[in-house]
Amino acid sequence: MEQDGGESGAASQRSPTRDGGGCAPGRKIPADGEVISGQATVDQSTITGESMPVEAAAGSRVFAATIASLGSLRVRVSRVGVDTTFGRVIKMVEEAEAQRADVQRIADKFSAWYLPVVTVIAALTFLIRRDPLATAAVLVVACSCSFALATPIAMLASVGAGARRGLLIKGGKYLETLAQANVLLIDKTGTLTLGRPRIERITPLGAFSSEQVLSLAAAAEHDSEHPLAEAVRQARRLQNAPALPSESFQAIPGLGVQAQVNGQKVRVGSLRMFQSEPFFADLQAHSSPASQQGKTELFVVCADQPAGVLTAEDTLRSEVPAALEQIRGMGIRQIELLTGDNQQTAAALAGALGIAYRANLLPEDKIAIVKAYQQQGSIVVMVGDGVNDAPALAQANVGIAMGAAGSDVAIEAAHIALMRDDWALVPEVFQIARRTMGVVKANLLFTMVYNVVGLSLAATGILPPILAAAAQSLPDIGILGNSARLLRTKK
Ligand code: ADP
Ligand code: MG
């Protein structure tokens, strides 16, 4: 089952081995997991909507319902069936279909009223005109179901089209809210930046060596899922600094981490994490102007002794400026960067993008800012990576999670999850929301006009019952046709 090379179709007949599932060329990967060995090109478009296949090799994560070709993989399965990312997407889309948007509720109320109104019009027609045929035509031509259909059909089309593009929209109501949004809040690490920072400088302090600083920091970061933690662990591997065991790991959201390494308390985090420590001034003195260039400094403290400073650099996602420009063009003027990083780093980045910023924020500060905007009557969209932004994403009127494939928190907390890390999807989802609401309004208007004209013609005897019956399906056909436009996804 190792390395099949080539596209040998015969390999697809082999059965999985005991210790790991096998994925042979040209077959759908049956479960989520991590590649143990082998190499293949994986078409992940079912999950991410991205048609460019990705290379998978040992250590890569693969997802159920994606297709491996040009090689074979040996995969350690982590999730099967409904628990896989694909399974969750299906469940969420099903739930989304059951969600009712506000416009839908209004339409439902309206259709409940509509029936008695039609009955009254029919009764009046009979009383005034004494014409049973016209009365019958009134009853036949009235089409209340199209009011009920106008919204859900459009929403359904958009949710479905979105899922194919790698946009998981958890309910039509979020499209409705998104179309009215006026504030966009953006998280930094992993959202505006690639979230793959690299440690580019190590400044040891006191009696510590660079190697020791890396070993200690990487041990403390061993269990953290933060992108900065991965950067520290990677730096240790690259520099071949010894790996140390750690225990009692604790993450301090928005500040850093701490753990016991060789029996000593090691802390790694922002300057702010050590605000109330006696050695704070000492650390501050070692903070360099690096942060003015948009870099992030991590301070390493071992047993209350400053041990070193790690300078991390992350790259801005290249699609961000164009995406923000498009969003601004749609009339969303208030765009703000919210970050737990320091003032200078935030200022450098926000300045380059021409947006406002707030720095030194803890996760709860982000929630408070979202709430403050909402209290002013703003409709807030928040874009985050879901790692520690989940509460703010959930608080926002619409929370959008980046790169949600494989991330449980992001898929759960966000209202809209982008299954691939691509900022171009953000303006796209704004556009989908606007187009959807446009179609909903057109559907409702069409139904309204049809009913008014139809009822008038029927009541006056111009429209005979047979034609009225035929005309009755007109609004449904119109609504279906109009809504189907939303199924067309632009490439
Ligand atoms: P953002 O708001 O930009 O996504 P976070 O809230 O995740 O940033 O983190 C804010 C700051 O807290 C980081 O810039 C870093 O200084 C510090 N920090 C958070 N988690 C860690 C960690 N695991 N290791 C080191 N520092 C961390
Ligand atoms: Mg973040």
What pLDDT, in 10s, does the model give residues 105-154? 777 787 788 888 899 999 999 999 888 899 999 988 887 778 888 888 89
Residue bearing the CA closest to ligand 1, atom 8 = 340
CB atoms within 10 A of CB 258: 20
> Which numbered ligand comes closest to the C-alpha of 254?
1
> Which listed ligand is nearest to 226 at the C-alpha?
1
Catalytic: 408? no
Task: Give the residue, by CA position, lying nearest to ligand 1 atom 12.
Answer: 255
Q: Which atom of ligand 1 is nearest to the CA of 341?
A: 14
Residue of minimum CA distance from atom 27 in ligand 1: 256
Neighbours of ion ligand 2 (CB under 5 A): 187, 189-190, 385
The pLDDT tens digits for 32-84 are: 999 999 888 888 877 776 767 888 888 888 888 888 887 888 999 998 888 88
**254 Cα: distance to centroid of ligand 1 (angstroms):** 5
- Ligand 1 pocket by C-beta < 6 Å: which residues? 187-189, 221, 224, 226, 228-229, 254-257, 268-270, 296, 298, 339-341, 388
* Cα 337 to ligand 2 centre (Å): 11
* Encoded tokens for 21: 């599932």
Which residue among 228, 287, 337, 370 has the greatest number of ligand 1 atoms within 8 angstroms of its CB, and so is best to mutate? Answer: 228
Atom 13 in ligand 1: which residue has the minimum CA distance? 341
Question: What are the beta bridge partners of residue 187?
Answer: 338
What are the tens digits of pLDDT across the range 281-336? 888 888 876 556 778 889 999 999 999 999 998 888 888 999 999 999 998 989 99
Q: Identify the structural domains of the chain with CATH numbers, from first to last.
A: 2-81 (2.70.150.10), 88-154+432-487 (no CATH), 157-193+317-430 (3.40.50.1000), 198-313 (3.40.1110.10)
SS3 per-residue string spanning the chain? CCCCCCCCHHHHHCCCCCCCEEECCCEECCCEEEEEEEEEEEECHHHHCCCCCEEEECCCEECCCCEEEEEEEEEEEEECHHHCHHHHHHHHHHHHHHCCCHHHHHHHHHHHHHHHHHHHHHHHHHHHHCCHHHHHHHHHHCCCHHHHHHHHHHHHHHHHHHHHCCEEECCHHHHHHHHHCCEEEEEHHHHHECCCCEEEEEEECCCCCHHHHHHHHHHHCCCCCCHHHHHHHHHHHHCCCCCCCEEEEEEECCCEEEEEECCEEEEEECHHHHCCCCCHHHHHHCCCHHHHHCCEEEEEEECCEEEEEEEEECCECCCHHHHHHHHHHCCCCEEEEECCCCHHHHHHHHHHHCCEEECCCCHHHHHHHHHHHHHCCCCEEEEECCCCCHHHHHHCCEEEECCCCCCHHHHHHCCEEECCCCCCHHHHHHHHHHHHHHHHHHHHHHHHHHHHHHHHHHHCCCCCHHHHHHHCCHHHHHHHHHHHHHHCCCC
**CA–CA gap between residue 111 and residue 475 (Å, rounded):** 14
- Give the residue with greater pLDDT, 433 vs 294: 433
Of ligand 1's atoms, which has the minimum distance to the CA of residue 227? 23
Say which ligand is closest to the CA of 387.
Answer: 2
- Among protein residues, the one with the nearest Cα to ligand 1's atom 10 is 340
Question: To test the ligand 1 pocket, which listed residue (192, 298, 310) has its Cβ within 8 A of the most ligand atoms?
Answer: 298
Nearest atom (ligand 1) to Cα of 190 = 4
Catalytic residue, chosen from 4, 32, 43, 187, is 187
Q: Which atom of ligand 1 is nearest to the CA of 224?
A: 23
d(C-alpha 211, C-alpha 224), whole Å: 20
> Tens digits of per-residue pLDDT, 464-488?
989 988 888 888 899 999 999 998 8
pTM of the model: 0.79
Cβ contact 404:414 at 8 Å = yes
Angle of the 474-484 helix axis to the 145-164 helix axis, nearest 10: 20
Model confidence at 2, in pLDDT bands (50, 70, 90)? very low
pLDDT score for 127: 92
What atom in ligand 1 is closest to the CA of residue 388?
A: 7
- Is the pLDDT reported for residue 357 higher than 70? yes
Residue 376 tokens read as 């002013």
Q: Which atom of ligand 1 is nearest to the CA of 340?
A: 10
- Residue 1: pLDDT band (50, 70, 90) is very low
Nearest ligand, CA of residue 296?
1
Reported as a pLDDT band with limits 50, 70 and 90, residue 194 is confident
**Tokens linked to 191:** 């959202």
- Ligand 1, atom 21, lies closest to the CA of 256
Q: To test ligand 1's pocket by mutation, which of 223, 274, 341, 409 has the most ligand atoms within 8 angstroms of CB? A: 341
How far does residue 331's CA lie from ligand 1's centre (Å)? 31
